[in-house]
Amino acid sequence: LEGGGACFTEASCTKRSKGDLGSSKNWQKTMNCKSQFLLCDEESANPGFNNAHHVYVPYANGDTHRGMRTQASEETWGLYFSGHLNLRTIFNHLEQSYGLLSNSSHILLTGSSAGGIGTLYNVDYLKSIVASENTVVKAAPNAGFFFPGALKSDFPGHPEYPPSNFSCFSQGQHCGFSNFESLVADLWQSYRHPKCVAAHSEETVWYCDSAMTQYAYVESPVYLLENQYDTNQIMTQNGCPKPTPSSPMSSVINAYISMYGEAMRNSTEPQVQAKADQDALFLPSCFQHGVSTTITIGGTQQLTWPEILPDWYWEHGKLTDSYFLVDDCKSPDGLPCNAMAGCQIATGSNSCRAQLEKDGCLSGEKVLERYLLQGPAKAASACIECAQSHRKDLESAGCTVSEVQSLCTSENA
């Protein structure tokens, strides 16, 4: 399932309806599978699933593949939100035209971001319509755990609530959740897990719109891929400003990010452990949206999730010790600490940042030129190249490789 955010205001949804994430008018007829490796036929690119039939579901609803609106109305600004209904139609087409649901022995549903949310909410529905009870249906949602539950210190007695947003947190208040999820669900008429709905009252059924609650009701095996510090959740959805060392609110921003990471760990680790006989978890300490295919987590093998996924799915049993991986790197301030470039926040020591500035690596002429002409990624590369040529200076200032990479990446974002 394709990802691509969501919309819930007239302005954002109307704008979205005019592009590829809201209309199929300009969709390409072909695509390069390398951007979605699980669609590739080559074993080297997609070991474990290269011989499978591959189905790509583009995203044009803005409802995380969950909407069940059958009519466009004034209430929906003349737009349809029918992501779940579209999936039902697609599943029916795959069965009627190709017999895929009745003839498949194994099915994997996956997606990232909005596609990850859609995966978590739709996998049991997919399982319910396959012809044989013996058909294995599993899910691998990437960056779809929206949202974790609040910490006890945030919303005492309400673990189902999402964490407070940044505005509330920065003022020492515990608020921000309101009934936002419920309001969005009303707009989309979102599909909810039937067993979750049955377990909640009319007043609390909106809990089912948060992954913290929804996950417990998913019966199909799930390989949960999630960053501890999801930037979309922290910044886009909850309004946290971009963390920079020079920000006057850096201490509050860092505290919020630290709190959110703890909430994500508390919401995912125990729930996946409770289903350890079938579920798996890959939870890097990374400040990004979407778990990279190249990031590794501790241990002696240093494996990526694409290496673990086939072993878990096909139950080969060779990598069982890696089915539950949570970054155990330690940061004194509770911030992201995975060593992969771009995972950490540029809070770095003042002396390290000052030395990078002195050496012209953060704002030198070459870096600025690349930023203006080629964009942030090339500017970050220029910064790292500069740092390599001033290695002795930076080592004397106490810089680490991961700290330099983080400063170069975040300062040029």
Question: Are 142 and 130 spatial neighbours (Cβ–Cβ below 8 Å)?
Answer: no
Residue of higher predicted confidence among 90 and 180: 90
How far is residue 304 from each of residues 112, 294, 298, 314, 319, measured CA to CA in Å?
Answer: 16, 6, 10, 17, 12
Task: Output the six-digit token pair for 37.
Answer: 């490796």
pLDDT at 348: 52
How many Å apart are CA 298 and CA 296, to the nearest integer? 7
Q: Where is 324: in which H helix or E strand?
A: strand 324-326
202: tokens are: 């009319």
Note the pLDDT of residue 42: 92
User: pLDDT-based confidence at 406, cuts 50/70/90?
Assistant: confident
* Lowest mean per-residue pLDDT among 134-148, 208-222, 358-372: 358-372
Residue 285's pLDDT band (boundaries 50, 70, 90)?
very high
pLDDT digits (tens, 9 = 90+) for 125-160: 999 999 888 999 999 999 999 999 999 999 888 888
pLDDT of 99 above 80? yes
Query: In this predicted structure, what is the pLDDT of residue 234?
Result: 96
Are 305 and 225 a contacting pair, CB within 8 Å? Answer: yes
The count of other CB atoms within 10 Å of the CB of residue 57 is 17
The amino acid sitting at 294 is T
DSSP one-letter string for 129-196: HSS-TT-EEEEEEES----PPPPTTTSTT-TTSPPPPHHHHHTT-----TTHHHHHHHHHT----HHH
Q: For 297-333, how does the pLDDT look when each residue is reduced to its tens digit (9 = 90+)?
A: 975 568 999 999 999 999 999 999 999 999 988 887 8
Q: What is the pLDDT of residue 183?
A: 73
Residue 370 makes CB contacts below 8 A (sequence gap 6+) with 378, 379, 381, 382
Q: In whole angstroms, what is the distance from residue 284 CA to residue 274 CA?
A: 20
pLDDT the model gives residue 370: 63
The highest-confidence range among 232-241, 328-337, 395-404, by mean pLDDT, is 232-241
Contact in structure between 379 and 361 (CB atoms under 8 Å): no
Mean pLDDT across the stretch 250-270?
95
What does pTM read for this prediction? 0.84
Percent of the chain with pLDDT over 90: 69
CA–CA distance, 266 with 215 (Å, rounded to integer): 13
Residue 283, pLDDT above cutoff 70? yes
How many other β-carbons are positioned within 10 Å of the β-carbon of residue 195?
14
Q: What is the pLDDT of residue 365?
A: 66
Q: Is 282 strand, coil or helix?
A: strand
Asked, as a colleague might, if the bond just before 282 is cis with ω within 30 of 0, I would say no
Average pLDDT over residues 268-290: 97
Q: What is the pLDDT of residue 3?
A: 95
Lowest mean pLDDT: which of 168-172, 184-188, 296-300, 385-389? 296-300
Are the C-beta atoms of residues 29 and 49 closer than 8 Å to each other? no
- How many other C-beta atoms lie within 10 A of the C-beta of residue 205? 17
pLDDT on residue 181: 66
pLDDT score, position 68 = 97
pLDDT at 54: 95
In this predicted structure, the answer to whether residue 355 has a pLDDT above a threshold of 90 is no
pLDDT at 178 over 70: no
3-state secondary structure (DSSP) of residue 6: coil
Mean pLDDT, the chain, rounded, equals 90
- pLDDT above 70 coverage of the chain, percent: 92
* Nearest residue to 394 (alpha-carbon basis) of 408, 378, 412: 408
What SS3 class is residue 280?
Answer: strand
For 227, phi then psi, to 5°, come to -85, 145
With contact defined as beta carbons under 8 Å apart, do 311 and 302 qualify?
no
CB 408 within 8 A of CB 384: yes
